[in-house]
Amino acid sequence: MRSIVLALALIAGPVSAHELWLEPEDFTIAPEATMTVEIVNGSDFVGQSLPYLPQRFAAFMNFTPEGASNVPGRIGDQPAVQSQPPAEGLNVLAYQSRENLVTYDDWQTILDFVEHKDLTGFLEAHAARGFAQEPFTEVYSRYSKSLIGVGNAQGSDQRTGLETEIVALTNPYTDDLSDGMRFQLWYRDAPRANVRFEVFDRAPDGSVTQKFYVTDAQGMVSVPVQPGHDYMADAVLIREPSPQLAEANNAAWETLWANMTWGIPAP
Whether 2 has a pLDDT exceeding 80, the answer reads no
Nearest in space to 231 (alpha carbons), one of 149, 155, 147, 154? 147
Q: Which amino acid would we find at residue 40?
A: V
Phi-psi region of 121 (alpha: psi -120 to 50; beta: other; left: phi over 0): left
Whether 16 has a pLDDT exceeding 50, the answer reads no
Q: Mean pLDDT in the chain?
A: 94
Confidence of residue 18 (pLDDT cuts 50, 70, 90): confident
Of the chain, the end-to-end C-alpha distance in Å amounts to 25
Whether 30 has a pLDDT exceeding 60, the answer reads yes
Confidence of residue 203 (pLDDT cuts 50, 70, 90): very high
Nearest in space to 6 (alpha carbons), one of 118, 150, 84, 153? 118
Confidence of residue 7 (pLDDT cuts 50, 70, 90): very low
Q: In three state form, how does the secondary structure of the chain look?
A: CCCEEEEEEEECCCCCCCEEEEEECCCEECCCCCEEEEEEEEECCEEEEECCCHHHEEEEEEEECCEEEECCCCCCCCCCEEECCCCCEEEEEEEEECCEEEECCCHHHHHHHHHHHCCCCHHHHHHHCCCCCCCCEEEEEEEEEEEEEECCCCCCCCCCCCCEEEEECCCCCCCCCCCCEEEEEEECCEECCCCEEEEEEECCCCCEEEEEEECCCCCEEEECCCCCCEEEEEEEEEECCCHHHHHHHCCCEEEEEEEEEEECCCC
- pLDDT at residue 258, as a whole number: 99
Tens digits of residue pLDDT in 134-188:
999 999 999 999 999 999 999 999 999 999 999 999 999 999 999 999 999 999 9
Whether 260 has a pLDDT exceeding 90, the answer reads yes
Nearest in space to 82 (alpha carbons), one of 40, 46, 51? 51
- pLDDT at residue 122, as a whole number: 98
- pLDDT at residue 47, as a whole number: 97
Given a contact cutoff of 8 angstroms between Cβ atoms, the answer to whether 93 and 145 are in contact is: yes
Pairing, β 181-187 against β 190-191: antiparallel
Confidence (pTM): 0.93
- pLDDT at residue 12, as a whole number: 34
Whether 14 has a pLDDT exceeding 80, the answer reads no
Determine which of 9-13, 97-101, 225-229 has the lowest per-residue pLDDT on average: 9-13
Whether 15 has a pLDDT exceeding 60, the answer reads no
Whether 193 has a pLDDT exceeding 70, the answer reads yes
Tens digits of residue pLDDT in 61-81:
999 999 999 999 999 999 999
- pLDDT at residue 17, as a whole number: 58
